[in-house]
Amino acid sequence: MQFSWQEMWQHMGAAALVVASVLLVMGFASLVVFAERWLTFARSRLASRRFLAAVKDARRRGEWGAVAKTASEFPSSFLARLVQTGIETYIQAHRHRADGGGLAPLEKTQRHMERYIEQAGIGLRRGFAVLAAVGSIAPFVGLLGTVVGIISAFQGIAETGSGGLAAVAGGISEALVETALGLTVAIPAVLAYNFLASQANAEEARLKNALGELLDEFEDSEESGRTAVWLGLEGAIATEPVPAGKPNGVSAVEAGALV
């Protein structure tokens, strides 16, 4: 028997083929998750830089209505979506307060945006469970394949009545291939999980810092009396009442799905 990869695959038993197929599916799933998350983070960083450059002048002038309109043009940016949601929530909170609402607009905005950040963090980590599962389970699936290969080796001994190398070589090679395949799938999945987790943590920290700066800007506008000036500038911003349980017309689940 020639022990090339093709020959070993052809001589694998049904159980070994099932184990190997499961490992290949797990590897493909982890690759898809990694590629999707990496591209999402990369697009968001690029769009965020473009968004900040586009709103630089409007932000300096305190024209937050214009900032919100510009933010809607960068849907792939986590930062732009945060800023747009924060500004729209603040505007609607002011209008609700004018109609006799209880909470101060700044406090209401802060509470809503804290919930938004939590849901955004869940969205940032979408698919991480797949990487974690593959990284922790794949070695054991490979071990199962190893056991199947050893069983195949003993079956070879039983069939030939001899314990020579020819009798056990097929089963042993099968076992080693399954072990190597399990590790080959698990190790990249763990590395991908750790890399993406660091990216998600950094992005979440940037969003929290941006939210703090945005709330500080709102507070400065209130103290200087500039809020009333820019509050009604942008008629494009939604003015409908916000349904209960769906701040800013977006539920918590939808906010996470946007990420």
Share of the chain above pLDDT 70, in %: 73
- Residues 158-215 have pLDDT tens digits of 666 665 555 566 667 777 888 889 999 999 999 999 999 999 999 999 999 999 998 8
CA atoms within 13 A on the CB side of 246: 9
Any idea how long the chain is? 259
CA distances in angstroms from 70 to 65, 149, 172, 210, listed in the order given: 9, 61, 63, 16
Q: What is the DSSP string of 222-237?
A: HHHT-HHHHTTS-TTS
CA–CA distance, 8 with 144 (Å, rounded to integer): 17
CA atoms within 13 A on the CB side of 53: 6
Q: Where do the structural domains in the chain lie, given as residue ranges? A: 5-258
CA–CA distance, 238 with 246 (Å, rounded to integer): 14
pTM value surpassing 0.85? no
Taking the CA atoms of 144, 145, 146 and 147 in sequence, report the sign of the dihedral they define.
positive
Residue 222: band (very low, low, confident or very high) from pLDDT cuts 50, 70, 90: confident
20-29, 98-107, 117-126, range with the lowest pLDDT = 98-107
Residue 11: band (very low, low, confident or very high) from pLDDT cuts 50, 70, 90: low
Q: What is the DSSP string of 79-147?
A: HHHHHHHHHHHHHHHHHHHHTT-SS-HHHHHHHHHHHHHHHHHHHHTTTHHHHHHHHHHHHHHHHHHHH
